[in-house]
């Protein structure tokens, strides 16, 4: 079984479309993906996010709403991961910015032995449609440089799509302390400390208007979070055993004839 965690704060405008597209996608690929469930984490929304998420629940795509009163995307993703019980889990953004083809591509990488698969807009094969604001670009470049010091070799820490073997996801989520937008970096630090085999995959990514991340409001906080992550993990964690999957079969039907 695959469980998909979607953190959501005041996403009544964007979340319904994302859930509709996700339902169509997994229904068309049921033979490959098998059973899929969505966990929408309502991050103390003040709009109809939770109501609309519950309304999207259907036999074709079960949708469960998890409450997370603690503010912050990192807090919401952590709550969602800890609420899972599947052999394979992933999380994606409520705006649906990452193309859903990433689900099957990541699924195949896990089937071939990866412990964690992260979407990357930095790979040559990726296709991105992003905003071109000089201030945002300069800030993003500085952020990437600092994040690269913590997780060398990772081209894109911030893409909202990541897939992880379930037991491993819950193991690292229990240690995740960053509640804001920089949580992805700490998650990757923890995966590396756990000895996980992590791979990047190319994605199609479209900038969807309405992001809750505002550089002038959240930028300084994100950099401060990076500093805290560096301090918290300044002593290299000794690798710990990665929880082994019980059997590749639970990840879904065999990819007979797939390419």
Which CATH number do you get for residue 52?
Answer: 3.90.550.10
Q: What distance in Å separates the CA atoms of residue 62 and residue 56, rounded to the nearest whole number?
A: 8
Classify residue 256: in a domain, yes or no: no
Place of tokens 């990076």: 226
Tell which wins on pLDDT, 207 or 92: 92
Model confidence band, residue 247 (pLDDT cutoffs 50, 70, 90): very low
Domain limits at 127? Answer: 2-237
pTM (two decimals): 0.85
Percent of the chain with pLDDT over 70: 83
* Structural domains counted in the chain: 1
Model confidence band, residue 57 (pLDDT cutoffs 50, 70, 90): very high
Q: What is the pLDDT of residue 258?
A: 39
The answer to whether residues 111 and 88 touch, using CB atoms and an 8 Å cutoff, is no
Based on C-alpha coordinates, what's the Rg of the chain? 17
Place of tokens 């599947």: 86
Classify residue 48: in a domain, yes or no: yes
Q: Is the pLDDT of residue 6 over 50?
A: yes
Q: Name the most confidently modeled range: 3-12, 123-132, 201-210, 246-255.
A: 3-12
How far are the Cα atoms of 9, 169, 189, 241 from residue 84, in angstroms, in the given order?
Answer: 20, 9, 21, 20
Classify residue 248: in a domain, yes or no: no
Model confidence band, residue 126 (pLDDT cutoffs 50, 70, 90): very high
Residues 228-246: tens digit of each pLDDT:
888 888 744 444 555 655 5
Q: Is the pLDDT of residue 216 over 50?
A: no
Q: Is the pLDDT of residue 220 over 70?
A: yes
Sorted by sequence, the CB contacts under 8 Å of residue 153 that are 6+ apart come out as none
Residues 76-86: tens digit of each pLDDT:
999 999 999 99
Reference 175, options 219, 115, 221, 240; nearest CA is 240
How far are the Cα atoms of 94, 161, 177, 183 from residue 76, in angstroms, in the given order?
Answer: 12, 14, 11, 10
Q: What is the pLDDT of residue 234?
A: 74
Number of other residues whose CB lies within 10 A of the CB of residue 84: 25
Residues 66-121: tens digit of each pLDDT:
999 999 999 999 999 999 999 999 999 999 999 999 999 999 999 999 999 999 99
Classify residue 120: in a domain, yes or no: yes
Average pLDDT taken over every residue of the chain: 87
Residues 156-185: tens digit of each pLDDT:
999 999 999 999 999 999 999 999 989 999
Classify residue 249: in a domain, yes or no: no
Two tokens, residue 91? 């999380």
Angle between helix 215-232 and 183-193 (nearest 10)? 20
Q: What is the pLDDT of residue 142?
A: 83
Reference 237, options 201, 186, 164, 166; nearest CA is 186
The torsion angles phi and psi of 257, rounded to 5 degrees, stand at 80, 5
Q: Find the mean pLDDT for residues 49-53.
A: 98
Percent of the chain with pLDDT over 90: 70
Classify residue 244: in a domain, yes or no: no
Classify residue 118: in a domain, yes or no: yes
Classify residue 257: in a domain, yes or no: no
């Amino acid at each position: 079984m695959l469980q998909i965690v979607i953190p959501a704060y005041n996403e009544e405008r964007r979340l319904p479309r994302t859930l509709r597209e996700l339902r169509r996608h997994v229904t068309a690929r049921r033979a490959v993906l098998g059973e899929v469930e969505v966990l929408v984490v309502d991050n103390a929304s003040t709009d109809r996010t939770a109501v609309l998420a519950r309304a999207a629940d259907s036999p074709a795509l079960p949708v469960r709403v998890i409450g997370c009163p603690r503010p912050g995307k990192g807090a919401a993703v952590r709550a969602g991961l800890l609420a899972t019980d599947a052999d394979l889990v992933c999380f994606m953004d409520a705006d649906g910015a990452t193309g859903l083809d990433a689900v099957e591509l990541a699924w195949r990488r896990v089937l071939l032995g990866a412990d964690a698969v992260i979407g990357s807009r930095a790979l040559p094969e990726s296709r991105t449609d992003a905003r071109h604001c000089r201030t945002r670009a300069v800030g993003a470049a500085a952020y990437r440089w600092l994040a690269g010091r913590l997780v060398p070799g990772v081209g894109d820490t911030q893409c909202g799509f990541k897939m992880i073997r379930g037991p491993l996801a819950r193991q690292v989520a229990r240690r995740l302390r960053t509640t804001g937008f920089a949580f992805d970096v700490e998650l990757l630090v923890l995966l590396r400390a756990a000895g996980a085999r992590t791979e990047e995959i190319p994605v199609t990514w479209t900038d969807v208007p309405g992001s809750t991340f505002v550089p002038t409001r959240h930028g300084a906080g994100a950099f401060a979070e990076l500093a805290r992550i560096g301090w918290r993990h300044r002593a290299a964690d000794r690798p710990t055993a990665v929880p082994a999957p019980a059997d590749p079969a639970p990840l879904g039907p065999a990819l007979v004839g797939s390419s």
